[in-house]
Amino acid sequence: MALGDRRGITPFPPRAIRAPEQPLAGGGGGPNDPDRAARLRRLEDAFLRIWPLMRSLDDRMRKVETEVAETKGRVMHLPSTRAMVTTMIGGQIALAAALTGILRTAGIH
């Protein structure tokens, strides 16, 4: 098969589409699990530990957002490549004209 030729390739293996033949090994007892309160308490504790980290991440993301906006503003004011190339060519033509004038004035042909 040539590189980039995707004929005959399915996005998912056929087994991934069908239901598993054996039930998956779960860790809970379903909706009537007596351990549900303990699991919920552990989940709440984990959330309370993660929450300050998420707040600090949010603050850092705001700073990054501000810095990106400032950088975007600075980049918007940079000259385009066309303007820079035109300026360089114009400078070279002016330098060539000045040198030609100096050499003709000096009597060097």
Q: How far is CA 32 from CA 28, 36, 67, 80, 93, in A?
A: 10, 8, 51, 67, 86
Length, in residues, of the chain = 109
Cα-Cα-Cα-Cα torsion 56, 61, 67, 71, nearest 10 degrees, comes to 160
The per-residue pLDDT string of the chain (109 residues; one tens digit each, 9 = 90 and over) reads: 455 555 555 555 555 555 556 655 566 666 666 777 888 888 888 888 888 888 888 889 999 999 999 999 999 989 999 999 999 999 999 999 999 999 888 877 6
Q: Which two tokens stand for residue 83?
A: 């303007």
